[in-house]
Structure 1
Amino acid sequence: MKQAKVHVKIVPDIRRIKTASKYPLKLRITFKGSRKYYATGLDVSDAQWEIINSPEVKGKFQKIRIEMAEIEKKALDCVGRIVPFSFSIFEREFFRASPGEQTLEIAYDNYIAELCANEQFGSANSYRNSMSALKHFRPGKVRLEDVTKEFLNDFEKWMIEKGRSISTVGIYLRTLRTIFNNAIAQGVVRPELYPFGRRKYVIPTGRNMKRALNIDQIRQIFQYKPEPGSSLEKAKDFWMFSYLCNGMNIADIARLRWSNVSAETISFQREKTKRTRRDNPITITVIRNNQINGLIEKWGRAETKSYNGYIFDILDITDQGEPARLKVQLFIHFVNDWMKGLGKELEFDLNLTTYVARHSFATILVRSGAPLALAKQTLGHASIATTEKYFAGFDLAAQAQYTKALVNF
């Protein structure tokens, strides 16, 4: 059977404008209606792109056109060897063909493009932030082989000097570690050059901060009476809904459909892990109570029941991809801004955010006597180790109370 044609072309990626009004040039591979984009390390403006494609092109722009042609030829040669064609084999073979040439920025750009193709826009932004920090630390072309233990130690020191936290350093370098693992799997970097791990560079973890409220503070929030119809009332209600519904994230609240709700429960899968756990999805079940029912009655859209639409008005059924993510982020900011103000008014010693609602649910559940395994199940964690991290260093007052037993003769 004849293989469908694979189209290869370098094009400007107009979705991502860079400094000086330039766009990155991407190698576009099209196969059976699917497209993937790979970074080339080249950037051009609209005017420069016209010059590069003109018959009279000369000088540095002619060199760019020649470089583009060489990349396209190498890609075509690689495609020709892959029968039947697959993107994964192309990525492995194409990048393996040029070890040592791939830069850190190209590796990041390619992985970011893959995340965007999978509609993992939040993760893509995390990788962009990491790459931006690395580019400011070490401007110019940095090869993957240049990232050594010393490079990483210097980056950590530079970040701390810039006033960034050790937690932020850890977040940025965990993304870099993923980039390295992918590069090794593709044959771009030799495994012995891996800079992370024991006796190399160990990625730091931030110290655990208090992120959970005690039950008395929860009571104060529930009993607080905001002005009816106010933004604070709406923010408080959705914060309470998150807390009552197993610490459900706003992204999951936004995507709750009427089919997720039965007479006694709410069942859903976390948006965060839908793709990573497709082979073994975790369904979380919330037991409904009068307060949850009241909030659904208050904020639920009865008109969307007829077509199994979203329960709440955070998203419309037509919202997809990046626009949907941005709407969810705006709603998270809305809730957090109003709840932080309420936390200050109630004189709490932490910022009152949706993240605190989730941690408070887990902490109070376990301190009430529930086994850790139940907390793992209700939070939707795949590993008990993840759940255990929720309970480290949260409440010094509780710790002080327990340590009284040491001298309770």
Structure 2
Amino acid sequence: MKKKRVNVQVVPDYRRNKNEGRFPLKLRVTYKSERKYYSTGYSASLDEWELINSSDAKGKLRKIKLDISGIENDAQKCCDEITSFSFKQFEYLFFDERIIFKNVRSSYTAYMDQLVANDQYATSITYRTALRRLEKYHPDLKFEDITVEFLSRYESWELSNGKSITTIGINLRTLRAIMNLAKENGTISVQQYPFGKRKYTIPTSKNIKKALTIEQIKKIFDYPAPTLSPMEKAKDIWIFSYLCNGINLMDIAHLQWKNIETNCIHFVREKTKRKQRANPKIITALRNEHVNRIISKWGNHESKQDGDDFVFGILSAGDTAKDIRRKVQQFIQTNNLWTKKIGVELGFSLALTSYVARHSFATILVRGGAPIEFASQSLGHANILTTQQYFAGFDLAKQAEYVKALTDFKI
């Protein structure tokens, strides 16, 4: 049977009218009557597009003509080499190798296309937000504009506009990732790269990590939430997270019956699943009477015969990546809403969220005498430095006990 040809062509996207009557130029890929559009980083007015497609293109327009011709040729070659074509396979092969480094915007846009192609919607939104802030500070941003002085001024501008150090750090880490790709690509030189030692250091917040004491944890266990209410379910999910190695709510939503064994639960963090495809880090959480009770009470037992079905019924087998993202966000928001209410009623000074469950697991584990290496392994961290950031330190009573040794002159 003859293989159906995939057609590729760069065309103006008339759905997206930019400023001054300009349209983004998109790579259009057509297969079996289905079309998808991908950013090239270029735009043109109708008059410019006519010139680009004529023999009269000169200067800047001629360069654009040659560049988009190269994009078309590379994309067609990529499509032709795929034995059984799918858009997902094309996106994986083409965008992993090709980021358009014409300027900062085109690089961000192409990278965001790649993230969406990989179903990393939340990360793509982070990059889009960062690009919006950077362009608000400096429209038409080019790589040569990004210097140590530029980054310092941008930081000051964001602070003057009421942005936190955490927000600034998130935005600039996306820029650093794009600059790293540009450096690897040869678009900028090592000398032009502005981040690192004796250059610009991305600010980090000095927030002290907070975790509950074991006495506070007991109060949560004993809290009398109404039976079978949303509050009771949120409380139990929080306890499940705390007892199962601080598993976050996204990973709870993704738990399948095949992950549940007689004495333990095995899972791989969704956050690191893509990066660790070749050698996934499997986390093992031990089951106990509390964990068993929660699975028995809230588990979707009708689906238990199929190991691929989800334990808590938050997700369904046919969900798209967009469905999963929406359902997980709703799950997180609902659970945190109820657990925060519990925290307020118990008089806690910090908001009782799933984040606190994870940090409490790490902190109480280490305070109880477990090696930090064990905590790191249990949390699924790649290195101990990350675990140390989770560790909330010793409470004041414990510090006072240790400080006594400084003046304990007994022989």
Which TM class, normalised by the smaller chain length?
0.7 to 0.9
- State the partner residue of 2:377: 377
Determine helix, strand or coil for the equivalent of 2:215.
helix
- Which residue does 1:275 correspond to in 2? 274
> Number of residues paired by the alignment?
384
1:203: how far off?
A: 0.8
In structure 1, what is the Cα distance between the partners aligned to 2:165 and 2:375? 28
* Pair 1:27–1:369, CA change in 2 (3 A): same
Which residue does 2:58 correspond to in 1? Answer: none
Tell me the distance in 1 between the aligned counterparts of 2:250 and 2:75.
40
Q: Is the 8 A contact 1:36 1:114 kept in 2?
A: no
Q: State the match for 1:249 in structure 2.
A: 248
State the shift of 1:243 in Å: 0.6
1:323 matched to 2:323: yes
| Structure 1 match to 2:69 | 76
Residues 258-267 or 228-237, more deviating: 228-237
1:62 aligns with 2:47: yes
Q: C-alpha separation between the residues in 1 aligned to 2:271 and 2:14?
A: 27
Amino acid at match of 2:197: R
Distance in 1 (CA, whole Å) between partners of 2:240 and 2:368 is 20
Provide the C-alpha distance between the structure 1 equivalents of 2:53 and 2:338, rounded to a whole number of angstroms.
51
CA distance in 2, matches of 1:390, 1:144: 35
How many Å apart are 1:281 and its aligned residue?
Answer: 0.8
Verify: 1:8 aligned to 2:9, yes or no.
yes
Q: Does 1:112 pair with 2:112?
A: yes
Instruction: Supply the AA of the counterpart residue of 1:176.
Output: L
Q: Is the 8 A contact 2:41 2:110 kept in 1?
A: no
What are the equivalent positions in structure 2 for 1:110-149 lying under 5 Å apart? 110-138=110-138, 140-149=139-148
- Find the counterpart in structure 2 of residue 38 from structure 1: 39
1:39 is displaced (CA, Å) by 4.0
- Specify whether residues 30 and 378 from structure 1 end up closer, same or farther in structure 2 by C-alpha distance, changes over 3 A only: farther
Match of 1:200 in 2: 199
Q: Is the 8 A contact 1:92 1:186 kept in 2?
A: no
* More off after superposition, 304-313 vs 288-297: 304-313
1:269-307 CA-to-partner distances (Å, cap 9, x unmatched) read 110001111122100111111110100011101111233
2:6 and 2:368 map into 1 onto residues whose CA distance is 62
CA distance in 1, matches of 2:398, 2:50: 67
User: Residue by residue, what CA displacement relative to the aligned partner does 1:152-200 show, whole Å, maximum 9, x if unpaired?
Assistant: 1111111212222212211211111001011122222223211111221
- Residue of structure 2 in register with 1:296 after alignment: 295
Distance 1:13 1:387 in 2: 49
**What is the distance in 2 between the residues matched to 1:121 and 1:329?**
12
Deviates more, 1:207-216 or 1:79-88: 79-88
The DSSP-based 3-state class of the residue aligned with 1:191 is coil
Question: One-letter code of the match for 2:266?
Answer: S
When residues 291 and 243 of structure 1 are mapped into structure 2, their CA distance, relative to the original with a 3 A threshold, is same
> Gapped runs of 5+ residues in structure 2?
55-60, 82-89
1:382-393 alignment to 2 at 5 Å?
382-391=382-391
Question: How far is 1:38 from its partner?
Answer: 2.5
Distance 1:395 1:29, change over 3 A: farther
Deviation at 1:74, TM superposition (A): 2.5
Classify 1:93/1:358 alpha carbon distance in 2 versus 1 (closer, same or farther; 3 Å).
closer
Preserved contact between residue 99 and residue 110 of structure 2 (Cα < 8 Å) = no
Aligned letter for 2:370?
A
Conserved 8 A contact 2:116-2:124: yes
**How many angstroms does 1:37 deviate by?**
2.0
Query: What is the identity, as a one-letter code, of the residue corresponding to 2:48?
Result: K
Q: Give the secondary structure class of the aligned counterpart of 1:286.
A: strand
| Contact in 1 for aligned 2:211/2:392 (Cα 8 Å) | no
Shift in alpha-carbon separation, 1:235–1:93, aligned structure 2, 3 A: closer
Q: Distance in 2 between matches of 1:128 and 1:89?
A: 21
Check 1:124–1:91 CA distance in 2 against 1; reply closer, same or farther (3 A cut): closer
Q: Distance in 1 between matches of 2:358 and 2:386?
A: 14
Query: Within 1, Cα distance between the matches of 2:404 and 2:14?
Result: 63
Range moving further from structure 2, 398-407 or 107-116: 398-407
Instruction: Report the AA paired with residue 359 of structure 1.
Output: H
Q: Distance in 2 between matches of 1:338 and 1:81?
A: 52
Q: 1:377 to 1:38 in 2, by over 3 A?
A: same
What is the Cα deviation at residue 79 of structure 1? Answer: 5.1
Provide the rounded CA distance (Å) in 1 between the counterparts of 2:226 and 2:74: 68
Identity %: 44
Q: CA RMSD in A?
A: 3.3
Which amino acid letter does the alignment assign opposite residue 69 of structure 2?
L
Q: Please give the secondary structure, in 2, of the residue aligned with 1:310.
A: coil
Find the residue that maps to 1:189 and give its secondary structure.
Answer: coil
Instruction: Give the partner amino acid of 2:203.
Output: P
Distance 1:35 1:384, change over 3 A: farther
For 1:272 and 1:13, the matched residues in 2 are separated by 36
CA contact (8 A) 1:160 1:166 kept: yes
CA distance 1:40–1:237, change in 2 (3 Å): same
Partner amino acid for 1:75? I
- Measured in 1, the distance between the counterparts of 2:391 and 2:238 equals 21
AA of the residue aligned to 1:8: Q
